């Protein structure tokens, strides 16, 4: 099959979960004999392929409200005017207005709907309204919807009466992780707490920093992350740190080898994501045998299960951090169990196989289009 993947920043992955998924799934589909094209943002001196995946680089308008949609619009135009693809995989329900064009071109399309984007505080009233509308539009026009967490699948079933394909992400598993890159940051194995997240309110970085600041923890807190268009929230994180010398705000780190070592050798990994479904950063921490303290929402409990520790606000963190420092052996044992759970439940080979099977179904004419019935949207099987 010829499979197009669009709606993300593209690969090589260096930003977020969608990009990681596209890279991991795309290269495995290539190994299975499929021809895969990934649409990427930007241009200039860029390679035409990566791990056998064909790359098409196109520009986008700058600005958080238009960047994704403008790039996907160009991607759809390119796809429609060049060699036909058998299936299009569109990531992010925000791209829903472009689905009719793909359908009219005769290309079956599946949409990975992502998390509950309309709950993010970075969007104003108009943005939240748009995302809610885009969700319903994706239900109407996609041949299939993909959810990466049971909570997201339940949401689409409850809100729209819509069925989804439940396909999660995979977790990279580290068995004998290197440690030579820790010294670059003045760190030692088991000698620090870690946060890796975009600086957005729904990722609760400020609350984590505030909770750590209140604690009597002796090991430093390493905060990895930043975000475009988030100056106000970045300032809030800095205020929460309040000059605490134990808190190190290092900004974005794009060296995956170094990040992998941080995941593998932190004493605890603090995960504040709350609206995005199954989060790849959480899976990466689990695959590295990190002891995880996660924000208490259903998505995180679904992934971590009983071996996670959970917090609802800054006040919960001091005791959890101090307990991990005073009892590092139980923390390490929880991390080992996390790695086993990730290996069992979140395998990229199985994820890619599920995408391949879905693409085969769509290419053969099977569809899970939805139609409106009253105020609810219900599943309709279309040949």
- Chain segment 9-50, per-residue pLDDT in tens: 999 887 567 898 999 999 999 999 999 999 999 866 678 999
User: Residue 115's pLDDT band (boundaries 50, 70, 90)?
Assistant: low
Report how far apart, in Å, the C-alpha atoms of 222 and of each of 177, 208, 278, 290, 311 are: 19, 11, 23, 14, 18
Report whether CATH 3.40.50.2000 matches the domain 182-345: yes
Report whether CATH 3.40.50.2000 matches the domain 2-170+348-377: yes
Paired with 291 in beta bridges are none
Q: Are 214 and 314 in contact (CB under 8 A)?
A: yes
User: Residue 126's pLDDT band (boundaries 50, 70, 90)?
Assistant: confident
Q: Of 198, 242, 241, whose CA–CA distance to 221 is shortest?
A: 241
Report how far apart, in Å, the C-alpha atoms of 20 and of each of 161, 257, 274, 336 are: 30, 14, 19, 23
Domain with CATH 3.40.50.2000 in the chain: 2-170+348-377, 182-345
- Chain segment 307-317, per-residue pLDDT in tens: 999 999 999 99
Residue 206 has pLDDT above 80, yes or no: yes
How far apart CA 282 and CA 275 sit, in angstroms, is: 13
Return the minimum-mean-pLDDT range out of 78-87, 110-119, 220-229, 297-306: 110-119
Q: Quick one: pLDDT at residue 45?
A: 66
Q: Of 214, 283, 224, whose CA–CA distance to 258 is shortest?
A: 224
Q: Are 321 and 217 in contact (CB under 8 A)?
A: yes
Q: Are 340 and 319 in contact (CB under 8 A)?
A: no
Report how far apart, in Å, the C-alpha atoms of 152 and of each of 88, 276, 348 are: 21, 9, 20
Residue 327 has, within 13 A of its CA and on its CB side, a CA count of 9
* Cα dihedral 304, 306, 312, 318 sign: negative
Helix (H, G, I), strand (E, B) or coil at 303: helix
Please give the average per-residue pLDDT across 281-288, as a whole number.
96
Report how far apart, in Å, the C-alpha atoms of 206 and of each of 93, 223, 229, 239, 321 are: 28, 10, 16, 9, 16
Q: Of 185, 250, 245, whose CA–CA distance to 220 is shortest?
A: 245
Question: Which DSSP string do the residues of 55-81 spell out, in sequence order?
Answer: EEEE----STTTHHHHHHHHHHHHHHH
332: exposed, middle or buried (Cβ count in 10 Å: 0-12, 13-18, 19+):
middle
DSSP 219: S
379: exposed, middle or buried (Cβ count in 10 Å: 0-12, 13-18, 19+):
middle
Q: Quick one: pLDDT at residue 64?
A: 67
Q: Are 202 and 275 in contact (CB under 8 A)?
A: yes
- Chain segment 315-368, per-residue pLDDT in tens: 999 999 999 999 999 999 999 999 999 999 999 999 999 999 999 999 998 875
Tell me whether strands 53-58 and 49-50 are parallel, antiparallel or unpaired.
Answer: antiparallel
- Chain segment 72-86, per-residue pLDDT in tens: 999 999 999 998 999
Q: Of 93, 103, 105, whose CA–CA distance to 137 is shortest?
A: 93
The percentage of residues in the chain with a pLDDT greater than 90, rounded to a whole number, is 73
């Amino acid at each position: 099959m010829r499979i197009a993947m669009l709606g993300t920043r593209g690969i090589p992955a260096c930003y977020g979960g969608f990009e990681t998924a596209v890279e991991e799934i795309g290269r495995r589909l290539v190994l299975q004999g499929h021809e895969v094209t990934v649409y990427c943002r930007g241009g200039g001196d860029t390679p035409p392929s990566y791990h056998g995946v064909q790359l098409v680089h196109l520009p986008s308008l700058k600005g958080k409200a238009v960047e994704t949609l403008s790039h996907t619009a160009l991607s759809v135009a390119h796809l429609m005017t060049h060699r036909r693809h058998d299936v299009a995989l569109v990531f992010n329900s925000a791209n829903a207005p472009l689905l009719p064009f793909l359908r009219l071109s005769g290309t079956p399309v599946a949409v990975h709907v992502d998390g509950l984007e309309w709950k993010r505080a970075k969007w104003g009233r108009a943005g939240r309204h748009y995302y809610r509308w885009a969700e319903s539009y994706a239900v109407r026009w996609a041949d299939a919807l993909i959810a990466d967490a049971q909570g997201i699948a339940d949401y689409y079933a409850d809100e729209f009466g819509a069925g989804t394909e439940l396909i999660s992400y995979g977790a990279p598993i580290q068995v004998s992780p290197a440690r030579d890159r820790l010294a670059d940051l003045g760190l030692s194995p088991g000698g620090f707490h870690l946060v890796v997240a975009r600086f957005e309110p729904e990722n609760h970085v400020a609350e984590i920093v505030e909770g750590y600041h209140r604690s009597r923890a002796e090991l430093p807190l390493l905060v990895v992350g930043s975000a475009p268009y988030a100056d106000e929230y970045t300032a809030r994180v800095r205020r929460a740190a309040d000059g605490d010398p134990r808190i190190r705000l290092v900004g974005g780190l794009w060296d995956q080898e170094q990040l992998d070592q941080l995941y593998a050798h932190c004493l605890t990994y603090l995960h504040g994501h709350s609206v995005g479904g199954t989060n790849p950063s959480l899976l990466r921490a689990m695959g590295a045998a990190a002891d995880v303290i996660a924000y208490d929402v259903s998505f995180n409990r679904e992934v971590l299960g009983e071996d996670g520790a959970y917090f609802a606000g800054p006040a919960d963190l001091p005791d959890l951090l101090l307990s991990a420092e005073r009892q590092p052996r139980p923390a390490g044992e929880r991390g080992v169990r996390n790695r086993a759970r990730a290996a069992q439940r979140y395998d990229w080979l199985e994820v890619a196989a599920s995408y391949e099977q879905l693409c085969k179904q769509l290419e053969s004419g099977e569809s899970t289009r939805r139609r409106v019935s009253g105020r609810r949207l219900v599943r309709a099987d279309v040949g």
